[in-house]
């Protein structure tokens, strides 16, 4: 329920109905804050952003640069967070992400970290800000970028991360695939492994995961400043326990490290029922925790005690390099060979029919070619469906498998049966042996499909 724009009377009623922590974080009118458009320079380019300042005048305040998660990274995506922190007395700088080297297939965490450092240097020079109490805040992908920036910034006073990752981008995405597919009823381990292991490793090798192998541990080990790390207990986009364990291990000797987990909180620390939906409003006490921690830690107070590690159903699987037989060259050659093998037989039959020649073929071979092609196309289409949708929509599920994939598996088994029937018929019937050379193609395709299908899980239960 949005409180922005309501009258003072309605705000009073809602304050009585809802916890005071929730109201204080989200009820403040945007007009109460000062929004100032600003520009700063990073690596010879001009960056544009907004400064969100708490109401009232007074001494310079603590401040943070807010570092985006993944996506286009327009400043408006972080304005609600900035206003929530302004309500706690903290100045925030939000800015438009530089996407000149940023896309689905290209990403440069190092360049994004340099932009965050430039933003921090600019923020420290603002008259509204106390430069000695100015730090960095990073969300999701920013949980990789902000720690990297903190190791490069000479004067970062602290670091706050929300929904940060303790694994590589490809491993985080693979874990998320499994979460979303289980949510839809997929229980077949072979299908889950197809998405989170086989397909992810191939995609990472092909460059479809930008910064796929980025390791967050070295940057975390270099940190020598206070750190506040926050996760939602219902995070389904990145493995929270793996991340929290890494932060706890690398910050074990940091007396100013605080770790907290919020129950019923989404990856973005908004309300959720199961981690997959996003409800309105931040969870109670999240903005308050950030605001009070920043003011306390920069004011010389000891760090608050850390909470326990968040729960996690299963650990993120390691995305290992491909073996030679899994390489893109081998996979590409196998895919091309399958397409040629299954397409050649019906195309030859069509060519003979156009020229008025007898088909002189084996009927099961025609059907095996057809089902074989559909199997190959269906398998690759299902993999692309996972990639393009993030595993969030795989269609109806039957017997623990997406119906799309189940149909592909039936076609694959049918191909082997039809190829076997064609081989027997060809061997026993002398009158069709004249077509034995062209028949070798679909039969060879069926043989090649066996190891190929086992690798991709087509023949696995």
CB 346 within 8 A of CB 365: no
| Structural domain boundaries enclosing 370 | 324-456
| Cα–Cα distance measured from residue 241 to residue 433, given in angstroms and rounded to the nearest whole number | 63
Whether residue 180 is contained in a domain is answered as no
In tens, the pLDDT along 169-225 reads 999 999 999 999 999 999 999 999 999 999 999 988 888 888 999 999 999 999 999
CB 220 within 8 A of CB 246: yes
pLDDT at 16: 32
Q: How many helices (H) and strands (E) does the chain have?
A: 15, 10
My answer on whether 386 and 249 are in the same domain is: no
CB 362 within 8 A of CB 236: no
Which of 53-57, 134-138, 275-279, 409-413 has the least mean pLDDT? Answer: 53-57
CB 242 within 8 A of CB 212: no
What is the b/e burial string over 291-306, where b = at least 16 CB atoms within 10 angstroms of the residue's CB?
bbbbbbbbeeeebbeb
| Cα–Cα distance measured from residue 49 to residue 64, given in angstroms and rounded to the nearest whole number | 13
My answer on whether 127 and 219 are in the same domain is: yes
Sheet of 257-262, strand order: 34-42, 45-53, 91-95, 61-67, 129-139, 159-162, 227-232, 257-262
pLDDT at 345: 77
Whether residue 95 is contained in a domain is answered as yes
pLDDT at 349: 65
- Once rounded to an integer, what is the mean pLDDT over residues 345-365? 65
pLDDT tier at 1, thresholds 50, 70, 90: very low
pLDDT at 439: 75
* SS3 (DSSP) at 42: strand
Whether residue 84 is contained in a domain is answered as yes
| Cα–Cα distance measured from residue 262 to residue 51, given in angstroms and rounded to the nearest whole number | 28
| Cα–Cα distance measured from residue 19 to residue 285, given in angstroms and rounded to the nearest whole number | 10
pLDDT at 210: 84
My answer on whether 410 and 272 are in the same domain is: no
Percent of the chain exceeding pLDDT 90 equals 72
Residue 230 or residue 366, greater confidence = 230
| Cα–Cα distance measured from residue 325 to residue 195, given in angstroms and rounded to the nearest whole number | 19
- Bridge partners of residue 261, in order along the sequence: 231
Whether residue 384 is contained in a domain is answered as yes
CB 334 within 8 A of CB 444: no
CB 129 within 8 A of CB 61: yes
My answer on whether 68 and 154 are in the same domain is: yes
**Strand 91-95 versus strand 61-67 pairing type:** parallel
Please determine, for residue 7, whether its predicted confidence score (pLDDT) is greater than 50.
no
CB 222 within 8 A of CB 151: yes
Q: Which two tokens stand for residue 90?
A: 């903290």
For 232, how many CA atoms within 13 A lie in the half-sphere containing its CB?
A: 27
My answer on whether 128 and 23 are in the same domain is: yes
Residue 437 or residue 262, greater confidence = 262
Which of 48-52, 182-186, 312-316 has the least mean pLDDT? Answer: 312-316
Residue 365 or residue 167, greater confidence = 167
> How many domains are contained in the chain?
2
**Strand 61-67 versus strand 45-53 pairing type:** unpaired
pLDDT at 253: 94
pLDDT at 23: 32
In tens, the pLDDT along 124-147 reads 999 999 999 999 999 999 999 999
* CATH code (residue 124): 3.40.50.1820
Per-chain mean pLDDT for the chain:
88
Q: Which two tokens stand for residue 294?
A: 């920043």
pLDDT tier at 5, thresholds 50, 70, 90: very low
pLDDT tier at 101, thresholds 50, 70, 90: confident
Whether residue 32 is contained in a domain is answered as yes
My answer on whether 16 and 154 are in the same domain is: yes
My answer on whether 271 and 420 are in the same domain is: no
Q: How crowded is residue 316: how many other Cβ atoms within 10 Å of its Cβ?
A: 24
Q: What is the DSSP letter of 386?
A: H
Q: Which two tokens stand for residue 154?
A: 């000479």
For 377, how many CA atoms within 13 A lie in the half-sphere containing its CB?
A: 10
- Once rounded to an integer, what is the mean pLDDT over residues 44-54? 95
Please give the model's pTM, rounded to 2 decimal places: 0.86
| Cα–Cα distance measured from residue 227 to residue 173, given in angstroms and rounded to the nearest whole number | 25
Residue 441 or residue 141, greater confidence = 141
pLDDT tier at 350, thresholds 50, 70, 90: low
Domain boundary among 263, 298, 333: 298
**Strand 401-402 versus strand 45-53 pairing type:** unpaired
Domain boundary among 238, 263, 298: 298
- Once rounded to an integer, what is the mean pLDDT over residues 418-440? 71
Where do the DSSP E strands lie in 27-102? 34-42, 45-53, 61-67, 91-95
In tens, the pLDDT along 295-310 reads 999 999 998 889 999 9
Where do the DSSP E strands lie in 83-207? 91-95, 129-139, 159-162
Domain boundary among 261, 280, 298: 298
My answer on whether 60 and 19 are in the same domain is: yes
What residue spans of 164-214 are helical by DSSP H? 169-183, 189-193, 199-205
State whether the Cα torsion 174-176-181-187 is positive or negative: positive
CB 453 within 8 A of CB 414: no
- Once rounded to an integer, what is the mean pLDDT over residues 363-369? 86
pLDDT at 355: 60
Whether residue 3 is contained in a domain is answered as no
Whether residue 315 is contained in a domain is answered as no
My answer on whether 29 and 114 are in the same domain is: yes
My answer on whether 279 and 362 are in the same domain is: no
Closest CA to 86 of 36, 9, 30, 169: 30
Closest CA to 232 of 163, 278, 167, 147: 163
My answer on whether 234 and 338 are in the same domain is: no
My answer on whether 334 and 380 are in the same domain is: yes
Distances (CA, A) of 451 to 339, 370, 448, 457: 15, 19, 6, 10
Whether residue 310 is contained in a domain is answered as no
Q: Which two tokens stand for residue 223?
A: 């940190």
In tens, the pLDDT along 250-282 reads 999 999 999 999 999 999 999 999 999 999 899
pLDDT at 208: 82
- Bridge partners of residue 53, in order along the sequence: 34
CA angle 344, 346, 348 (to 5 degrees): 65
Residue with token string 């042996």:
433
pLDDT at 17: 30
| Cα–Cα distance measured from residue 382 to residue 195, given in angstroms and rounded to the nearest whole number | 9
Question: What are the φ/ψ torsions at residue 398 (nearest 5 degrees)?
Answer: -135, 130
pLDDT tier at 360, thresholds 50, 70, 90: low
């Amino acid at each position: 329920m949005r409180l922005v724009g309501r009258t003072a009377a309605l705000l009073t009623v809602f304050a009585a109905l809802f916890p005071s922590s929730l109201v204080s974080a989200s009820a403040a009118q945007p007009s109460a804050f000062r929004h100032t458009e600003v520009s700063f320079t990073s690596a010879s380019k001009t960056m544009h952003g907004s400064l969100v300042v708490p109401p009232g005048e007074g001494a310079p305040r603590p401040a943070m640069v807010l570092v985006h998660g993944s996506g286009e990274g327009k400043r408006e995506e972080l304005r609600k967070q900035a206003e929530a922190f302004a309500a706690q007395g903290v100045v925030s700088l939000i800015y438009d992400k530089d996407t000149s080297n940023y896309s689905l297939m290209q990403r440069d965490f190092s360049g994004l970290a340099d932009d965050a450092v430039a933003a921090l240097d600019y923020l420290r020079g603002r008259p509204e800000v106390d430069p000695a109490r100015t730090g960095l805040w990073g969300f999701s992908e920013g949980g990789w970028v902000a720690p990297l920036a903190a190791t490069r910034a000479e004067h970062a006073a602290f670091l706050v991360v929300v929904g940060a990752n303790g694994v590589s981008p490809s491993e985080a995405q693979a874990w998320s695939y499994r979460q979303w597919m289980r949510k839809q009823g997929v229980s077949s381990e072979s299908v889950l492994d197809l998405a989170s292991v086989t397909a992810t490793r191939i995609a990472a090798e092909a460059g479809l995961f930008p910064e796929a192998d980025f390791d967050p541990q070295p940057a975390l080990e270099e940190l020598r400043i206070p750190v506040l790390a926050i996760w939602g207990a219902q995070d389904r986009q990145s493995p929270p326990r793996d991340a929290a364990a890494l932060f706890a291990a690398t910050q074990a000797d940091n007396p100013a490290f605080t770790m907290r987990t919020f129950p019923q909180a989404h990856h973005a620390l908004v309300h959720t029922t199961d981690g997959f939906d996003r409800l309105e409003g931040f969870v109670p006490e999240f903005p308050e925790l950030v605001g009070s921690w920043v003011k306390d830690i920069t004011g010389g107070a000891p760090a608050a005690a850390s909470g326990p590690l968040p729960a996690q159903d299963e650990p993120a699987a390691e995305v290992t390099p491909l073996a030679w037989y899994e390489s893109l060259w081998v996979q590409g050659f196998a895919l091309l060979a399958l397409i040629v093998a299954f397409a050649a037989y019906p195309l030859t039959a069509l060519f003979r029919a156009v020229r008025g020649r007898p088909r002189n073929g084996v009927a099961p071979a025609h059907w095996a070619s057809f089902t074989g092609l559909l199997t190959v196309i269906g398998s690759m289409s299902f993999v692309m469906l996972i990639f393009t949708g993030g595993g969030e929509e795989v269609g109806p599920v039957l017997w623990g498998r997406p119906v799309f994939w189940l149909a592909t598996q039936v076609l694959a088994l049918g191909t082997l049966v039809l190829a076997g029937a064609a081989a027997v018929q060809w061997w026993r019937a002398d009158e069709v042996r004249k077509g034995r050379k062209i028949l070798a193609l679909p039969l060879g395709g069926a043989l090649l499909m066996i190891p190929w299908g086992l690798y991709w899980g087509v023949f696995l239960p």
